[in-house]
Structure 1
Amino acid sequence: MRKNIAIKWVPSALTVGVAIGLVVTGCSQAGPGSPKAGETSGKNEQKAEAKRGKLSVSIYDQGQIPAEEGTPQKNRWATWVNEKGPVDVSYVPVARRESTQIFNTMFASGTAPDLVIEYDDIYRNSLYTQKQLMPLDDVIDKYSTEYKKLMQEYPMLKKLGTKPDGKIYEIGRVQKMVTNHVMFIRTDWLKKLNLEIPKTTDDFYKVAKAFAEQDPDGNGKKDTFGTSLSFMSGENIREMFGDVGWVVKDGQLVRDWERIKEHTAFRKKLYDEGLVDKDFLADKNGAKTEKDWVNGKLGIFGIQNGVKSTGYKVFEAFKKNNPEASIIPIELPKSPFGQFSPYLEPAVRMVAAVNAKAKDPEAVMKYIDFMITPSTMNTIKYGIEGTHSKKGPDGCYVPMDDEKYKKEVVWNQYFQGFFPSVREGDCGSFEKSLDPNKPINKEFISFVPIAEKAYLSKERPIPDVTSKFYWPSVPQDISTVETTLSDAISELMIKAVVSGSSYSVEQAIQEAKTNWEKGGGKKVEEWYQKWYADNKNTALFTKDLYEK
């Protein structure tokens, strides 16, 4: 759960048995750029005979597309989809870190795209409660072949996509459970300062202090930071303390105040002692923190998709600037509340929904079907066979020219929003796209099993009651109250962190509790407690994520 914000729940019919029933299929490696006859992508003459619909699709924009490759609206892969696919597609760029604000503006003005690809489950649920989404049961039944088959193969897609009114509103993807957030540490700095990898939060503080004060880069200046409080590095610290808003205590789901207090006190200590950059509030998307890491000025760094494409890109830049440096992923240190793992991606999650005002739902479904066929998946993910990639000895696609591959293929990850990568088996893993004979690739590939061992263990579960993707749908009135109060609580905790002796953590907690009671928090607590009491034997909880 993201810090104390409104939560999205799955329907009460969701059972553990369904989740455990997921079966990972073997590699499906149809050749990139060469669809088989009969697939949705079809041949040009087949497409010409059918009515060609059109739709608009949102696509995340993080400035990842090289200038020479075009824009989110027009680039080689947008062109390829329009040429090879069954419908005309216009892509609508949405800034990744401002997506909910942008979508709100679009829906308010009537310009929202037909297919909304948005990974924020809480936001998608708000669209459902506002009746902005189209029910998809009849659309899937009437127009789909590929996604319909996928739902039959993985029933969890239907369970998670179904809202409280009993209808399907969301499109999901299927993969193996994988890591996402990763905490890296400079092991060369540890060695230089004769320190061990931190095992507890106290150890973490001591290591961060040494990294900030004992000149680990050896330049004779006090210009390094132990860690950061912004973006993913800050998220790692929150996850370390298990500060997730709601916890099970004495058999009930209750609002937590102990973990948030300790988490805030820890952040305040790091801030007051100058072990982190005090301008962290201005670094909302983590760009400054990433720059400090890449430039060799940060000792402990949290990153999203740490052992996948995002992590690799940052690692390349890091090694270019720090060729002799060494890093590894580490377990989150143990806090007074236990040892946890950071956010991970479960096997099934919802990622998209259809605008209730979409004029051509048949085109939307044809697009989804086309995008999840094996030939389309492989072409977009690996490029054109014989130009960008070829099959390696293990049957998985590998780049033919790394520079060409980076320039023309790697950046298109947001075209892959609902790819069922589970169908690729091991070939779907990012590290399989790297040439292990190159030293930098070999080093990065070595991080993957370390991260998986650290974070995919039931001995160190995520701190949330369940995955954020599996929380139930909260009624709009409850969600509004909780969001308002939780945002206010977060502001009070930030105030305590940055205010020195003029505003203590204890003051912040007391004020937060008072505001919670006065603002209707009791009503929110009662709703969660009743939901938990009614569903604790049937809903999918954190422990179930680790069952084979």
Structure 2
Amino acid sequence: MKRNQRILKPLCAAVLTTALLTACGAKEEAKTGSAAAEDKSAAPLPISLVVQQVGEVPGKDSPIQQAMEKYTNTKLDFQWIPSAAFDDKINVMVASGELPKAMRLKWNASTLNSTRDGLFHEIGPLLKDYPNLSALNQMYYDNVKVDGKIYGLPLYRDIGRAGIVFRKDWMDKLGLKVPVTLDDWYNVSKEIATKDPDGNKQNDTYALFLDKSFTGPGSANTMTRLAVSQGAPNKWGMINGKMTPDFMTKEYMDTLKLFRKLYAEKLINQDFSVAQTTDNDNKWNNGKLGLRIAVASTAEGYNDLVKKSTPSAVTDVAPMTGPKGILLPGEPGNNGLYVFPKSSVKTEAELKRILKFFDQLLDAPMANLLARGIEGTHYEKADGGKVKWKDLTAFQKDVKPYRDMLPSFEVGGKASPLQNPELTDKMWKIVDENLKYSVPNPALTLNSPTYTEKGAELDNMMIDSQTKYVMGKIDDAAWQAEVDKWMKAGGSKVIDEYTAEYNKLNKK
């Protein structure tokens, strides 16, 4: 999904238009009230940044970079590293100690180890001094904590992405509503699979099409999204004083039993254990699929795809709603994070000035610059205080590399709203509102030595067991035996370690 097409919360369009002109060097700078003006008498602050390459590497004469430098009174030196070489290059830089002022890291074991080794400044206590950084939802920061402390600024991405994309024309034809309870999901699945909604007199349609990634270690899969909507925890939950994996809860098992029933009655595809995500896509694209538990912001794209085979198709989108209302798993909310090496950022004063630069990137002028580009070049005004693309190809080339690698992208709804189709407006409204219904994973940043060592093995054990259970290859007793096996293989230690870590970090 192209995030540049996002519809944002209205925020005084006239002011934003003025703000954008500021970013592009217009004479309205004094009207923005930005902190940039405070530094005009000082020399520009040099900031070296190491980032992952996105598309073509922008030239140092890029008008986008020049606008950022002017607004923030900085001199930016980007080192763009190709994706294929990124991890290796970062490891070499860390080992050599030759580090930039700010570096974008992926959230992985190497990042955790470097942070715990004391390579980077802690920034959590300083964030309160920055109006934009401190105004962001705390979950963004909670999801990148190391041992309960904040060392990095996330590259913000949506936390509440899940939604139901569905064929509204089929649902209307069969008199169906968007499912809420597991019984609803069963009934919708049965009706669509047996009542020939496409009218070709064949039973060749499904409500849901599963592939082998229907469950997994992350939060962005069908099983987790549906189970959380029914009240299950997001991967882990603190239950009766102990960290508990989702598959040990009733709500999760009820959802798994639904898939088992659908499989037994041939209401979902029988080859799901070997099916690929592309098979799922093809089923939708060919007009044979009724619902997708997916990313809500993909609805417009799905609509375009199905209309190629079925021009009469009508696509709609709805939030993940269960018996207790809208609930969905919160996702990490970042595409990596920026850290600030102690070896290159020597003083707290310098650290604070660099943090100010990142705070300024969340001002309306910079948010608009990175989300829309330059008026007259990349976009132009439209009706109703909105804007429309003038040259999206130029935007992808000129702006996207910065947009994707700076933690300012459209956070807070400060960019001028785009003129979009009704479905696009609706899908982004759902994503925006999803944040307050997102269930966090309390174990996301907890330290478990056992999981670090055996996590992949333990995850695969339960993925395989869930697949066997859905296919009817094991019964309830055998399922419990698989859970017991997981406990003995290290799962019990993971539970104990997560519980101890959670309690340590959440002392009252």
- Distance in 1 (alpha carbons) for counterparts of 2:141 and 2:62: 31
Q: Does 1:198 align with 2:179?
A: yes
Change (3 A) 1:403 1:324: farther
Provide the residue aligned with 2:112 in structure 1: 128
Residue in 1 that maps onto 2:407? 418
State the shift of 1:334 in Å: 3.8
User: Deviations for 1:470-500, whole angstroms, at most 9, x for unmatched residues?
Assistant: 65742351442572464133333244146x4
Structure 2 matches for 1:93-242, cutoff 5 A? Answer: 93-94=82-83, 115-116=103-104, 118=106, 123-124=107-108, 127-131=111-115, 134-137=119-122, 148=130, 150-151=132-133, 156=138, 163-164=146-147, 168-172=150-154, 179-230=160-211, 232-241=221-230, 242=232
Q: Could you say which residue in structure 2 is the equivalent of 1:66?
A: none
Distance in 2 (CA, whole Å) between partners of 1:456 and 1:162 is: 19
Q: Is the 8 A contact 2:193 2:203 kept in 1?
A: yes
Task: Call closer, same or farther: CA 1:316–1:151 in 2, change over 3 Å.
Answer: same
- 1:301 counterpart (276, 292, 297): 292
* 1:278/1:116 CA distance change after superposition, 3 Å: farther
How far apart, CA to CA, are the structure 1 residues paired with 2:405 and 2:87? 23
Relative to the length of structure 1, the TM-score reads: 0.66
Within 5 Å, which residues of 2 pair with 1:6-25? none
Residue 271 of structure 1 deviates from its aligned partner by: 3.6
Which amino acid letter does the alignment assign opposite residue 208 of structure 2?
T
Where do residues 464-479 of structure 1 align in structure 2 (5 Å cutoff)?
464=439, 467-468=440-441, 471=443, 473-479=445-451
Output the amino acid matched with 2:152.
Answer: E
Counterpart-to-counterpart distance in 2, 1:379 and 1:91 = 20
Q: What CA distance in whole angstroms lies between the structure 1 residues aligned with 2:161 and 2:36? A: 31
> Where does residue 370 of structure 2 map in the other structure?
380
Conserved? CA contact 2:64–2:373, under 8 Å: no
2-structure distance, mates of 1:213, 1:345: 35
Is 2:464 the counterpart of 1:492? yes
Deviations 1:219-261, CA, capped at 9 Å, x for gaps: 2333322213345444433434426343343455434513443
The answer for the alignment partner of 1:515 in structure 2 is 486
Aligned to 2:78: 89
User: Are residues 389 and 344 of structure 1, via their aligned partners in 2, closer, same or farther at CA, if it must alter by over 3 Å?
Assistant: farther
The 8 Å contact of residues 481 and 521 in structure 1, kept in 2 or not, is answered as: no
**Which residue does 1:58 correspond to in 2?**
52
Offset, 1:207 = 1.3
Task: Tell me by how many angstroms 1:89 deviates.
Answer: 1.9
Report SS of the residue matched to 1:399: strand
- Shift of the 471–398 alpha-carbon distance from structure 1 to 2, 3 Å rule, reads farther
The alpha-carbon distance between structure 1 residues 417 and 107, as it changes in their structure 2 partners (threshold 3 A), is closer
Secondary structure of 2:293 counterpart = strand
Quick one: structure 1 residues 261 and 160, their matched pair in 2 at CA, closer, same or farther if it must change by over 3 Å? closer
Contact 1:31 1:378 in 2 (8 A): yes
Query: 1:103 Cα deviation (Å)?
Result: 6.4
Residue aligning to 2:474: 503
Cα distance, 1:314 vs. partner?
A: 3.1
- Within-5 A mapping of 1:411-490: 415=404, 417-419=406-408, 421-425=410-414, 427=415, 432-435=417-420, 441-447=421-427, 455=434, 461-462=437-438, 464=439, 467-468=440-441, 471=443, 473-480=445-452, 483-484=455-456, 486-490=458-462
The share of aligned pairs that are identical, in percent, is: 19
Letter in 1 for 2:329: Y
Counterparts of residues 272-291 of structure 1 (less than 5 Å): 272-280=264-272, 286-291=277-282
Q: Is the 8 A contact 1:225 1:299 kept in 2?
A: yes
Distance change in 2, residues 1:160/1:497 (3 Å): closer
Secondary structure of 1:520's aligned partner: helix
Q: In the alignment, what sits opposite 2:236?
A: 246
1:389 is the counterpart of 2:379: yes
1:341 is matched with 327
Greater shift, 311-320 or 220-229, is seen at: 311-320
Tell me, which stretches of 5 or more residues in structure 2 are unaligned? 1-9, 70-74, 214-220
Q: How far 1:181 moved relative to its partner?
A: 0.9
Cα displacement (A) at 1:398:
0.9
Deviations 1:263-290 (A, max 9, x none): 3333333344443345545566x34323
CA contact (8 A) 2:448 2:497 kept: no
Counterpart secondary structure, 1:87? strand
- 1:348-359 to structure 2, matched below 5 A, reads 351-354=336-339
Question: Helix, strand or coil for the counterpart of 2:20?
Answer: coil
Instruction: Answer whether contact 1:212 1:223 (CA < 8 A) is retained.
Output: yes
Contact in 2 for aligned 1:264/1:496 (Cα 8 Å): no
Measured in 1, the distance between the counterparts of 2:45 and 2:396 equals 35
Unaligned runs of 5+ in 1: 1-23, 60-70, 96-101, 436-440, 539-548
8 Å contact 2:166–2:291 — kept in the other structure? yes
